[in-house]
Amino acid sequence: MRIITSPAAMKAWAGEQRSKGHTVALVPTMGFFHEGHLALMRMAAAKAEKVVVSLFVNPIQFGPGEDLEQYPVDLDRDETLARHQGVSALFIPKPEEMYPRGFQTRISVAELSRHLCGADRPGHFNGVTTVVCKLFHIVCPDFAVFGEKDFQQLAVIKRMVADLNMDVKILAHPIVREPDGLAMSSRNSYLGPDERSQALCLSRSIARARELYADGVRDTGRLADEVRQIIEPVTGARIQYISFVDRTTLEPVSQADDNTRLVLAVTIGGRVRLIDNGRLAKGG
């Protein structure tokens, strides 16, 4: 496995692979790998002959007061885990190389970014789309793999690729969960034992909404009330949003159908912001 730190060297390596006729898949990450990341790498390896994993804690997608300085980092562990997944190259650029002096360009997907996490974190998705656009230009992958846990991010990336005629196929991997249902996230490492238990209210509320949908409940106001009844009594849990949206447009819906997705953001313990989501229809 190659460790590459410069965008120019990464571009050259990827170009060499394509000149040899190899297909290339990219898995963009911010590191501190867990089983969810490893599942993305395995999906990438099943689709392409060469897998590039980028490991970059992207400063421009963090807002004031967010956890940029505290975001967990363990490069040695990440390198070992990636190597065991058959990753061909690990791209670990420095912020000053991705955003050199004078950098001023941003990519914006306006409508899909305006609510949900976009409303809570102004400018966040502009930072995401900008770095992903740069990674696509550097690596020029045939495929790029993203997890469905960040469902709004996935929708935003797909829209950017379609709008800008980017020659890359976006692959979505289902949410990877702990045995008790908690969606895997690097930020789970912030949770203490009590907070870890409290965080299960997210997956429990999704399960309850699915039960009600299977029983014929379609009114999303009623479904949202049931979700609140599970989350609000949990000590230390504060709802940022509960929304039932169309899975493609992310627009809120009043009547659920098989294309409806429940998306949640909840702060646990007053400091750890967690997101989760799930399709209401069976198998979602």
Residue spans of the domains in the chain: they are: 2-173, 186-278
Percent over 90 (pLDDT), the chain: 98
d(CA 90, CA 243): 36
Grade residue 284 by pLDDT with cuts at 50, 70 and 90.
Answer: low
Over the chain, what is the mean pLDDT?
Answer: 97
**263 SS3 class:** strand
Residue 101's pLDDT is 97
**93 SS3 class:** coil
Residue with tokens 């305006």: 114
**46 SS3 class:** helix
Q: Are 26 and 136 in contact (CB under 8 A)?
A: yes
Q: Is residue 37 among the annotated active site residues?
A: yes
List the structure tokens of 193: 């034992």
Grade residue 282 by pLDDT with cuts at 50, 70 and 90.
Answer: confident
For 134-176, how does the pLDDT look when each residue is reduced to its tens digit (9 = 90+)? 999 999 999 999 999 999 999 999 999 999 999 999 999 999 9
d(CA 22, CA 98): 26
Q: Are 78 and 31 in contact (CB under 8 A)?
A: yes
* Range 11-27 average pLDDT: 98
Specify the fold of 2-173. Answer: Rossmann fold (3.40.50)
pTM for the complete prediction? 0.95
List the structure tokens of 253: 């819906």
Pick the CATH number of 186-278 from 3.30.160.150, 3.30.1300.10, 3.20.20.70, 3.30.1330.10: 3.30.1300.10
Q: Which of 22, 34, 37, 173 is catalytic?
A: 37
